[in-house]
A and B are shown apart, each in its own frame.
Chain A
């Protein structure tokens, strides 16, 4: 078996330029595949790492429509709910850097820190935020990107809540879980609410609650929604994961497009490998006939072709992942997290993605060799020997 593999390996050296170009083509395809899969996994990282014991309650129609603030106390009174907080999507931008997008939300500071225990903030900064009405806390990735420091005054231009809003950075938070986006901007809901006209006051975007038993999340969600069934505004409550999923559903077309592109890349790779293997088999028809003549069975010839292709796949897989992994995790990923943290809070190649890429490289190589292997094994010995010489 090892000697037969040696023959397959040696065959790769027959046309070195072609082998190098084929492996290079497959490597590029696999790098593109790994990058796209990383975009997709990073996009959904919030879903994957969403806290199981956190529930989100929003307006039954859409989360763009607000809830009355008084609902928060009703939710806190539901059995099984440990703590609840609320927030409004503020949607403001830095007028000096209007192209820099980052999530900014008005929230209740004390209950937010309670519900989001995985949000890490130094004690002195926490106290500073709780006591400063215009205080805001920002994620470390956002601070780095915008070059904001603790104590700095920040002015934002509101669009949903028009006007110029002044804040002071009270603290910079980090996160102990990947569920927390480290490029967000939180400030006091009271500061916003007090400045709103009477018709817009006391409205909240959504409620986040922690529960004492994650296995009861469906039951507690039902209990919350039933409570508001007869009120003027009905709610829908779901796990944090489902909320993330419903948010992602808005971008489903983009995600589907990326899925299609990654599939197209794999098909291109299949064709590159298939073409190379098929050319090799065509050129070696006479050699295969000689091997058959000296006693090799059709299965042996199929083995040579499949093994040769599989070696190409292994080389491409290892090289592709060997380049993509350090390139993304040590270089590109950090830059994307710092500059596009709102969308990709954790942009790294997951080990399973790397493993899948290597596996796909080998699998596609084997699939690409099926028809050439069948052709090689069914070569007519007499015709092939007569064709040349």
Chain B
């Protein structure tokens, strides 16, 4: 890791941590605590007049620094679970506690602030703003902070450097390959130093080579930068990169 990347680690990844080396920090740290705690969570939708139970009394704990994959057939509730943890939705019943926040009791505004502070999103189809350059896309989440222009610039550049696209900063999404677009999306997801990275089929639109590059990058973000990663995937090769793989079926963990 370059000295600049180390600076990123200090600036971005472990800003709440004591000032010691990453290895020493890991050694001295207490056993991993549950960053994400779901207790008897049920999520029910109403389709027409019929209630549809998507998550059925699900309980789950995910430790800080984990890299977990969620697998399961379509309709099993993977994305719904991801949305609950990301603060995009609230449980119908049960408790959803993430980074010390009881998400079910928070207002829309508080949930938005929670997302901007703690969650980094990586989508299957990248979802970059086509009218903004790679740099401007990465800078986007920082517009919600009080950071000055110089600091935003510094952080966006660092994030792009981490994903290996420092030389593509002025490119628009249409000028990038799929893999590069996803790396810009990852830079956007980490630029504000989130606690958790939420990935919804991050390699679903990529060829094998690009997918492997992205998975390698995610692994690095987990091991080097201590990001807790929760990844929904249908791809067994992608799931193999995770330290834990959970299987969902009909709203329950198997």
Contact = CB atoms under 8 A, between A and B. Distances in A.
Contacts of B10: none
B245 interface: no
Contacts of B129: 7, 10, 287
Interface residues of B, number: 29
A290 B137 CA distance: 12
A375 interface: no
Contact of A295 (B79, B89, B125, B141): B141
A388 interface: yes
Interface of A: 3-4, 6-7, 10-11, 13-14, 286-287, 290-298, 300, 381-382, 385-386, 388-389
25 contacts: A3-B139, A7-B131, A7-B140, A10-B129, A10-B131, A10-B132, A290-B127, A292-B112, A293-B86, A293-B121, A294-B115, A294-B119, A294-B121, A294-B188, A295-B113, A295-B115, A296-B144, A297-B109, A297-B112, A300-B144, A381-B88, A385-B88, A386-B79, A388-B125, A389-B123
Contacts of B109: 297
Nearest to B145: A295
Nearest to B83: A382
A294 B88 CA distance: 10
B76 interface: no
A298 B109 CA distance: 9
A296 B131 CA distance: 18
Contacts of A296: 112, 116, 144
Interface string B122-150: 01110101111000100111011000000
A381 B117 CA distance: 18
A294 B140 contact: yes
B196 to A, nearest CB: 13
A311 to B, nearest CB: 13
A348 to B, nearest CB: 41
Interface string B182-219: 00000010000000000000000000000000000000
A377 to B, nearest CB: 11
Contacts of B79: 386
Given A295-B116, A295-B144, 12 more contacts: A14-B130, A287-B127, A292-B112, A293-B88, A293-B121, A294-B115, A294-B119, A294-B140, A294-B141, A298-B108, A382-B83, A386-B79
| Most chain B CB inside 10 Å of its own CB: which residue of A300, A388, A389 | A389
A297 B141 CA distance: 12
Interface in B81-120: 83, 86, 88-89, 108-109, 112-113, 115-117, 119
A389 B124 contact: yes
Contacts of B188: 294
B11 to A, nearest CB: 19
Interface string B50-88: 000000000000000000000000000001000100101
Interface of B: 79, 83, 86, 88-89, 108-109, 112-113, 115-117, 119, 121, 123-125, 127, 129-132, 136, 139-141, 143-144, 188
A204 to B, nearest CB: 73
A381 B198 CA distance: 15
A11 B132 CA distance: 9
A389 B88 CA distance: 17
A293 B141 CA distance: 10
B131 A14 contact: yes
A21 B8 CA distance: 46
A142 to B, nearest CB: 58
A286 B127 contact: yes
| Most chain B CB inside 10 Å of its own CB: which residue of A6, A286, A294, A389 | A294
Contacts of A294: 115-116, 119, 121, 140-141, 188
| Most chain A CB inside 10 Å of its own CB: which residue of B86, B131, B139 | B131
A354 B116 CA distance: 44
A93 to B, nearest CB: 64
Nearest to B131: A10
A332 to B, nearest CB: 39
Contacts of B139: 3
Given A3-B143, A382-B83, A382-B88, A290 B123 contact: yes
Contacts of A386: 79
Contacts of A6: 136
| Most chain B CB inside 10 Å of its own CB: which residue of A7, A290, A298 | A290
Contacts of A297: 109, 112
Contacts of A286: 127
A11 B109 CA distance: 25
Contacts of A14: 130-131
| Most chain B CB inside 10 Å of its own CB: which residue of A7, A291, A295 | A295
